[in-house]
Amino acid sequence: MSIEELKAEVSRRYGTPALVVDLDVVERNIARVQALCDAAGVANRPHIKTHKSPVIAAMQREGGAQGITCQKIGEAEVMAEAGFDDIFITYNLLGEEKMGRLGRLLDRARMRVAADNPTVVAGLPEAARIGGRDLEVMVECDTGRKRAGVETPAEAVALAKDIASRPGLAFAGLMMYPPETRMAETQAFMDEALAGLRDAGLQARVISSGGTPNLAHLGKLSGVTEHRAGTCIYNDRMMMRAGIATLEDCALTVYATVVSRAGPERGILDSGSKTLTSDTGGGLDGHGLILEHPEARIAQFAEEHGFLDLRACNDRPKVGDVVRIVPNHVCVVVNMVDRVVAVRGDEIVGELPVAARGRIS
């Protein structure tokens, strides 16, 4: 089947918009990331936030991954239900409801969580009590991204002491998401924090780094034991701009139909902000790359309308044409749908549920 025949078959079976994932590319991406981690001597703990699929997570595990990473308890619950038993939640968890859910997870799977403040740490022993065993806790460190994390090595050591002092908690190590341009500063932070931990009689068994763009820096941070990367499973325009992926590494495309050409220099796709999302990927031009018409711009959105600017196109799409779009930020696009269509090359092989979509708590 040709690519045009494949587009027609996807449209006939599933309609558009449709998210289509090439499993051959997925397998290549898994093998590539695993090889990078192996060469750097770090464990691969992939983040499931991008694919949200136990099927894809199982492919990563079979490819050599050691455990998985989740951002929210809801994601972890889906993965534990699917049989995953080594899960790291990289997010501050607060409140009685979440401690109950975390405790029930701890009863069925090996869990590790992150914390960056004493209020979070103070609540975690209740989850350990409910789960009936110790809960491993990592100190999240900010080395320049200015998101979450303690800002100084001294704060990291103080929080580690707090964790180690509480019943049911076990200090496991340090976690970070380093800015790609601050490897030296991150190393200095780590070195000072580790020295302080040693002085306090504590050991950081795990030092966890993360980010698909930081795959380019694997091995540059001394002491890192594992890496968490998510977007690399599918890749997108952001990863292409970062130089970590090529177009051939982009496993997911959005199939969309041109539904209007009311003017010679404009058109409308059936994919708006509820499909491609309004994420510009940090300043990318337009809202996606149309493979058949790379000069076209998806200039703006309504909820179900993608506004095409065709002024730069000599070859302009017609009403009824099906096009393939590489999204700016694939993670948020996947979270918009219940399932993706699975292909190998130009053959449809089935569909995969996005089992953890919408699990935002």
Which residues have a Cβ under 8 Å from the Cβ of 228 and sit 6 or more positions away?
45, 46, 47, 69, 88, 90, 208, 209, 210, 211
229 vs 241: CA distance, rounded Å: 17
pTM over the 0.85 mark: yes
What are the domain boundaries of the chain? 3-21+239-353, 24-233
Q: What is the mean pLDDT of residues 10-23?
A: 98
Is 1 a residue whose pLDDT tops 90? Answer: no
Query: How many CB atoms within 10 Å of residue 299?
Result: 15
* Residues with Cβ within 8 Å of residue 276, at least 6 apart in sequence: 254, 287, 288, 298, 301, 306, 325, 327, 328, 333
Structural contact between residues 147 and 188, judged by C-beta atoms closer than 8 angstroms:
no
- 258 contact partners, CB below 8 Å, separation of at least 6: 267, 268, 269, 308, 317, 318, 319, 320, 321, 322, 323
Across the chain, mean pLDDT equals: 97
**pLDDT band at residue 6, thresholds of 50, 70 and 90?**
very high
d(CA 71, CA 147): 14
Q: What b/e readout covers 276-294, taking b as 16+ CB neighbours within 10 angstroms?
A: bbebebeebebbbbbeebe
CA-based R_g, the chain, Å: 22
Cα 77 to Cα 75: distance, rounded to the nearest angstrom: 5
Q: What percent of the chain has pLDDT over 70?
A: 100
Backbone angles phi, psi at 232, to 5 degrees: -60, -15
Query: Can you tell me the distance from the alpha carbon of 222 to that of 308, in angstroms, rounded to the nearest whole number?
Result: 47
- Average pLDDT, integer, range 138-148: 96
Tens-place pLDDT, residues 195-237: 999 999 999 999 999 999 999 999 999 999 999 999 999 999 9
Phi/psi-derived region of residue 93, left when phi > 0, alpha when psi is between -120 and 50, beta in every other case: beta
Does 3 score more than 90 pLDDT? yes
3-state secondary structure of 315: coil
pLDDT band at 299 (very low <50, low <70, confident <90, very high): very high
| For residues 315-323, average pLDDT | 97
Neighbours of 118 (CB within 10 A): 12
Q: Mean pLDDT, to the nearest integer, of 238-245? A: 97
DSSP for 33-65, please give it: HHHHHHHHT-EE--BTTTT--HHHHHHHHHTT-
Query: Which CATH number applies to 3-21+239-353: 2.40.37.20, 2.40.110.10, 3.40.250.10, 1.10.1240.10?
Result: 2.40.37.20
Going by C-beta distance under 8 Å and a sequence separation of 6 or more, which residues neighbour residue 64?
34, 37, 38, 44
Percentage of residues in the chain having pLDDT higher than 90: 98
d(CA 328, CA 259): 22
What is the rounded end-to-end Cα distance, in angstroms, of the chain? 42
Specify whether the CB–CB gap between 306 and 16 falls below 8 A. Answer: no
E-assigned strand segments in 118-274: 135-141, 169-176, 206-210, 226-228, 252-263, 266-269
**What mean pLDDT comes out for the span 241-258?**
98
Residue-wise pLDDT for 164-204, tens only, equals 999 999 999 999 999 999 999 999 999 999 999 999 999 99
Q: Quick one: pLDDT at residue 341?
A: 98
Q: Which two tokens stand for residue 28?
A: 């290549």
Judged against a pLDDT cut of 90, whether residue 27 lies above it is answered with yes
- CATH classification (class only), 24-233: alpha beta
What are 88-126's pLDDT values in tens digits?
A: 999 999 999 999 999 999 999 999 999 999 999 999 999
Phi/psi at 128 (nearest 5 deg)?
-65, -40
Per-residue pLDDT of 326-342, as tens digits, reads 999 999 999 999 999 99
